[in-house]
Structure 1
Amino acid sequence: VWTRAGVSVAAVTVMVGVAGCQDGATKAADEPVAQSPASAKQSPAEAVQAAYKKTAAAKSAKVRMTMSLPADSKAGGGTMEISGVQGWDPAVMDITVKGSMFKELAGAGGGEIPDAIRMVIANNVMYMDMGTANAAQLDGKRWLKLDLKAAAQAGGDDPVGFGGMDGLGNLNQDPAQQIALLLDSKNLKHVGSEQVEGVSAERYQGTLSFEEMLAANESSKVLSEADRAKLVESVKKAGLKGYDTNLWVNKEGYPVRMTVSMEMAGGKLDLDAHYSDYGSAATVQPPADSETFDLFGMLKEMGGAGSGA
């Protein structure tokens, strides 16, 4: 399924994985800023820094995100819609996923395809509610469990192949980290005041090349030279040149919308996220073990049983 996704999975993995923990967050936290991110007296960098601080301290928010590819893209095009709650201290997520792109990816695995799937991510483990009909094929257990860390390790040195599954776990990436990336943009600017679903917000815009993103990424420094070269080569094949980011901040200093566009050889990938209800750490409850079917555990057992299995 993930291989068939091609550019979609590669792009998402690169964006949320490579754009993860990086120096911009530390820079945003260390530099002094004024109290009101939406103040006209602030520079764009100061406003973004202040928005970072408010978002990081909030620990959670409701999120509604759409990922889209044009119909003529190599990955087949379509949309994937995500809605629910996410937390980043600790990193958790409880969302519903639907859309034409989702249906295509899910259909590659066979079986009955639900119109939407509830997905829970906690402790680097992803759980997917496969519905009652599919539960009959999973020993009566409707929740499919996938240990993202174990899957990534099994992927070896392939940064955007099966090992890229770890990047999917980072779909619940702290939005503050994404905001901090704007601080590394050399052309960060304040576009003006706009309405976002009836709420007045200040819009900020900036771009980053892939090379700038990789240079700012603290976690990428743990890669060996060989793995780093493979990552760069994979991105070059995908045709990714850079990231265009727009951020809308409300009068309270919280981001209410963020868009990221990535032009690639297989088509333009657009991510559009809306945030609301910022608050204390989100409570996400994974399903009980008795209700889950461990996909990766099953694959390991099959591998251990030899070629006959």
Structure 2
Amino acid sequence: MSVYRKKTVGAVLAAVLLVGGATACENGKKTDSGKAGSASAEPAKPAAAVSPAEALNAAYKKTSAAKSAKVRMTLSMPAATGAATNMEMTGVQGWGPDVMDITMKGALPAGSGAESVRMIMSNNVMFMEMPAGSPTAKGLEGMEGMEGKRWMKLDLNAAAAASGDAEALRKLGGLGGVEQGQDPAKQLALLLSSPNVKHVGSEKVEGTDAEHYKGTVTFEEMLAANDSVKALTEAERKQLTDAMKTAGITGYDMDVWVNKDGYPVHMKVGMSMPQGTMNMDAYYSDYGSAATVQTPPDSETFDLFGMLKELGKAGAGA
């Protein structure tokens, strides 16, 4: 992979992190308790009776308070970037606390022997199921003490601390930032920072009545709305901005469809670059209380980071 392509892929991934990490502290105002305010119990007004900003702000509050939803998302990348071109994710995600149980298809390494992989995350620890019959699973079966270990465990905090750049990772939302790009509340927050958001009209989304809103957000506007970026030093902020300019990323096109209950049921984010457009297309349903995610038992997991540390020590000793 060329140096330019590596920089481009890195910039794209950083942009995805930033989209997922956007917040709307001014638009999504909080109650005195510090939690996002819930939407009014009064009947929703017709779309024509409220401004797009008012409608989206109400949807943001309801979505923040819902704390979880089922998600079906497709992420596509231009082939010229050298990154995976198509990835599908389905499952449940929670943002109060941050958890997920997602099955991912596509974007798996060549020779993995698997069409999909299941990922579970809780307390900033990621678990990835090794598909039965895959080269990785077969390799583990032949190792002492690894019988029945079909889940790979990765403590993201430990990985960030050992990366040599833990502070920068923390400021950008950590290694868990990618899956948080699926958080519909944060997507709404980003759209609320658009100065030109508009109501497109009433449309059907998978048979459900919804109101379509659209807006564009420049990279500079996104930075201004993103709390995690405010923690960066001036040098780090310039480095990030320069990387986006080098990759040719100028901003985002965003669409959201809000149903009659005030929840987003469909979201699309398009990010243009010289090689093409990165698209994130997500459908949400079953909004509710905090999601409960069941992590695999210790008897079925192995700690990837711990294993790598032990291998490193053994190598140093040899």
TM-score range, shorter chain: 0.7 to 0.9
1:184 aligns with 193
Choose the corresponding residue for 2:73, options 65, 84, 89.
65
CA distance, structure 1, for counterparts of residue 7 and residue 301 of structure 2: 28
Contact 2:151–2:301 under 8 Å retained in 1: yes
CA distance, structure 1, for counterparts of residue 248 and residue 242 of structure 2: 10
Q: CA deviation at 1:124?
A: 1.1
1:16 aligns with 17
Choose the corresponding residue for 1:248, options 242, 254, 257.
257
- What is the CA deviation profile of residues 40-87 of structure 1, one whole-angstrom value per residue up to 9, with x for unaligned ones? 20000000000001111111110000011244x232563100000111
Change (3 A) 1:76 1:59: closer
2:82 aligns with 75
- What is the CA deviation profile of residues 185-229 of structure 1, one whole-angstrom value per residue up to 9, with x for unaligned ones? 111111111111111110111111111111211111222223222
**Number of residues of Structure 1 aligned to a counterpart in Structure 2:** 298
Counterparts of residues 14-53 of structure 1 (less than 5 Å): 14-17=15-18, 19-22=20-23, 24-30=24-30, 36=44, 39-53=47-61
CA distance, structure 1, for counterparts of residue 6 and residue 287 of structure 2: 32
2:122 aligns with 122
CA distance, structure 2, for counterparts of residue 269 and residue 160 of structure 1: 24
Q: The residue matched to 1:132 in structure 2 has which SS?
A: coil
Q: CA deviation at 1:237?
A: 2.5
CA distance, structure 2, for counterparts of residue 251 and residue 6 of structure 1: 43
Contact 2:19–2:187 under 8 Å retained in 1: no
Q: CA deviation at 1:234?
A: 2.3
Q: TM-score, normalised by structure 2?
A: 0.83
Unaligned runs of 5+ in 1: none
2:34 aligns with none
Please tell me the residue identity of whatever aligns with 1:112: S
Q: CA deviation at 1:184?
A: 1.1
Q: The residue matched to 1:253 in structure 2 has which SS?
A: coil
Contact 2:19–2:190 under 8 Å retained in 1: no
Contact 1:37–1:251 under 8 Å retained in 2: no
CA distance, structure 1, for counterparts of residue 13 and residue 215 of structure 2: 19
Please tell me the residue identity of whatever aligns with 1:88: W
CA distance, structure 1, for counterparts of residue 10 and residue 77 of structure 2: 12
Name the larger-Rg structure: 2
**Once structures 1 and 2 are overlaid, which stretch shifts more, 183-192 or 224-233?**
224-233
1:56 aligns with 64
- What is the CA deviation profile of residues 122-166 of structure 1, one whole-angstrom value per residue up to 9, with x for unaligned ones? 1111111112233332323111112223323333349999x9893
Choose the corresponding residue for 1:196, options 205, 209, 215.
205
Q: CA deviation at 1:290?
A: 2.0
1:206 aligns with 215
Q: The residue matched to 2:29 in structure 1 has which SS?
A: helix
1:285 aligns with 294
Q: The residue matched to 1:236 in structure 2 has which SS?
A: helix
Q: RMSD over aligned Cα, in angstroms?
A: 3.0
Change (3 A) 1:40 1:112: same
Unaligned runs of 5+ in 2: 32-36, 141-145
CA distance, structure 2, for counterparts of residue 291 and residue 305 of structure 1: 24
Give % identity. Answer: 53
CA distance, structure 2, for counterparts of residue 291 and residue 13 of structure 1: 33
Q: The residue matched to 2:132 in structure 1 has which SS?
A: helix
Change (3 A) 1:119 1:6: farther
Q: The residue matched to 1:28 in structure 2 has which SS?
A: coil
Choose the corresponding residue for 1:150, options 136, 158, 182.
158
Choose the corresponding residue for 1:233, options 231, 242, 256.
242
Contact 1:122–1:286 under 8 Å retained in 2: yes
Change (3 A) 1:240 1:154: farther
Q: TM-score, normalised by structure 1?
A: 0.85
Contact 1:13–1:168 under 8 Å retained in 2: no
Please tell me the residue identity of whatever aligns with 2:202: S
Q: The residue matched to 1:270 in structure 2 has which SS?
A: strand
CA distance, structure 2, for counterparts of residue 244 and residue 194 of structure 1: 19
2:266 aligns with 257
CA distance, structure 2, for counterparts of residue 5 and residue 294 of structure 1: 29
Counterparts of residues 211-230 of structure 1 (less than 5 Å): 211-230=220-239
CA distance, structure 2, for counterparts of residue 301 and residue 220 of structure 1: 35
Q: Is residue 112 of structure 2 the alignment partner of residue 112 of structure 1?
A: yes
1:135 aligns with 137
Change (3 A) 1:29 1:37: farther
Q: CA deviation at 1:38?
A: 5.5
Please tell me the residue identity of whatever aligns with 1:67: L
